[in-house]
Amino acid sequence: MKLKTKSCAATLLCLAMLGAAGTAGAAVEAGNGAEARLLISAVESGKVGLLRSLVANGANVNAVSRGDGTALISAVRRGDPALIDELLKLGADVNLSAPGDGSPLIEAAKGGDAGLVKKLLAAGARPNTVVQGDETALINAARRGDLALVKLLVAGGAEVNLGAADPDRHGKLLTPLNQAGDDAVRQFLAAHGARN
C-alpha cells in the first residue's frame, strides 16, 4: 500500500484504531490485498472516520482482497446503507466484482435486501453482471424464491435468460428459471420470457 504520508506510522495507527488482531497480518501483505484488508476491516468495524482517513491518505477504495472482495462488497454483506453511501461518495465502483467474491448487487441479492438492491441500481449497478462462482443477481434472487426481489431486478433491467456456467457441475448452465426456488418465481419468469 502506498499511503501519501508517513506510511509506516499511518498503517500502525490504522491497525491500532481497528484493534483487530487479524488485521496485523495485512500490514505485511504486499500490494492491493493489504489495502483492501485495511478498508474491509474498517467497514467490518463500522469505523466511517477511519475509512475516510485511509482513503484520504491514499488507500485505493476499490482495492480487492481475494476471498473478501472490496470494501463496498463488505459493506453490502454487512447490510449497512450508511457505509455504502460513504463508500460511494469516496469513489467506490458499484460494478467492481471479483470471482468468488461476487459484486455489490449480487451480494445484496444473495442477502435478500431489496432496499440495498434499489440503492445499488440507483447508483448505477449493472443488473446483468455475471461473476464466476456467484452467477447473477437475478439467479441469486430466484434461488432464494424472493418474488419481490426478482420483480425489482427485472424492472431494473435484469435479463431473464442470462445464465452462468456452474464450475462445480462441469459447466451446466444455471439460469434464473432453472434455479428458481419457488413456483411463483418460476411463473413470473416464464411470463417474462424465461427459458431453461
Query: Within the chain, how many helices (H) and strands (E) appear?
Result: 11, 2
Average pLDDT, stretch 86-96?
Answer: 96
Domains and CATH numbers, the chain: 1-93 (1.25.40.20)
Asked if residues 87 and 51 have their Cβ atoms less than 8 Å apart, the reply is yes
Instruction: Write the burial class of residue 91 (CB in 10 Å: 0-12 exposed, 13-18 middle, 19+ buried).
Output: exposed
* More confident of the two residues 196 and 6: 196
Give the best-scoring range by mean pLDDT among 22-26, 43-47, 97-101, 119-123: 119-123
Q: Report CA torsion sign: 50, 55, 59, 62.
A: positive
Count of Cβ atoms closer than 10 Å to residue 148 Cβ? 12
Cell of 186: 418460476
Asked whether the predicted pLDDT for residue 8 surpasses 70, the reply is: no
